[in-house]
A and B are shown apart, each in its own frame.
Chain A
Amino acid sequence: GAVVSQHPSRVICKSGTSVKIECRSLDFQATTMFWYRQFPKQSLMLMATSNEGSKATYEQGVEKDKFLINHASLTLSTLTVTSAHPEDSSFYICSALTGANYGYTFGSGTRLTVV
């Protein structure tokens, strides 16, 4: 079946630094990918929709300059958390649509801790 690979699974960084998270579709092309953020014991909040070859569409309240999204190829989307602060610590998950009957395939998530 379709697989979305997300790396890294865990990252700890210092305040003020930037962190890049990668999301790859391994056996299919994903023209659109989605980035979510999840706080402990809460649901997934859609941050942005990543479109191959064009600018990402950000949800209301999400700072596009802080969460940089690049979707340069049909199999790779990246999320860069710039100038990270402790409040950016969260679980970030990407997903891609894998077909009309199969919903979305999710990456395994990235646990970001900013110290």
Chain B
Amino acid sequence: SQQGEEDPQALSIQEGENATMNCSYKTSINNLQWYRQNSGRGLVHLILIRSNEREKHSGRLRVTLDTSKKSSSLLITASRAADTASYFCATDALTGGFKTIFGAGTRLFVKA
């Protein structure tokens, strides 16, 4: 069953603005990942943050993880029209074998 839930479900911003997406999950995790998906395409891995990490950066991306609240956030700074995509969080939980469970995703639209 799905574990992660993102909010907002959809986000529309102007180019140059920052975009923040949140993800909540239910069970204990080994790590949490964020992915990007352009319409009808495969997923691209953005960042993996381990359960013992609190914050991670990659270029214009900043991910935080709060295991006490079972939540994570993805911040995209200085957004560009090319950032328009769906963003998913996914968690790895050990349940008799590692498998990744995806949240519902946030559809981001960046207006030029």
Contact = CB atoms under 8 A, between A and B. Distances in A.
Contacts, number: 57
A108 B97 contact: no
Secondary structure dominating the interface of B: strand
By size class, the interface of chain B is 20 to 34
Q: How large is the interface on A (under 10, 10 to 19, 20 to 34, 35 or more residues)?
A: 20 to 34
Interface string B86-112: 001010000001111111110100000
Contact of A49 (B48, B97, B107): B97
Interface stretch (A67-75, A77-85, A95-103): A95-103
A91 B2 contact: no
Nearest to B6: A43
B40 A101 contact: no
Interface of B: 2, 31, 33, 35, 40-45, 48, 88, 90, 97-105, 107
